[in-house]
Structure 1
Amino acid sequence: MLRSVLLASTTRLGVTGSRFCSSAADKLVITEVDDKTGYATVTLNRPPVNSLNLELLTAISETLDDLQNNKSRGMILTSSSKSVFSAGLDIMEMYKPKVDRMKEFWSTLQD
């Protein structure tokens, strides 16, 4: 899904300015779309190192769905941290996991 959003090319948007897209987890993922270019800037915002837990993965997935539905031309994925993009998977998701949460975590990661 991420690949299809990154590679998708749609018609040029004619409105100037920028707008914010929001999802259920506004604080984990911040999205700004430039209406002039049609490109979105998606910022991971899970200090200190943007480790990928279920909530952040869900927020990313919802944001990508929104961008795809709004026919954004492409996106830039960045970090709110000046020194770290992402530490990768959150190790605490693997520590004494509950079966249902673990299934949802891996399903969301693969989506």
Structure 2
Amino acid sequence: MAATPSAVGEAYRDASGYEYLPMFNEPVLVFGASADEMKRTAGRARSRGVAFSVFTQDLFSTFNDEDNRGAVAAVETDALDIVGMAFRTDRSVADKILKGLKLLK
């Protein structure tokens, strides 16, 4: 995540001059998970003290960061409908958090 300067690279620009957000400097792995698997994965991250970004189903009906924060703040931890998450940690810890999930292809 962007909290570490080495996590984000330089911005991209196409031949027409349109600028794009930077890519991560480090590899990003995307896993698929059911709702129950997402809850379990989030619980594993919390229990190991790994901070993560949370993406809930409610965020797909909001249109700005303030509303996103409000949507998350309105729901108790155990009731969050988590559809995605992102985190950075040592591989051995990540392996334990992600155990049982399959990479998306």
Q: Which structure carries more helix by proportion? A: 2
TM-score (norm 1): 0.25
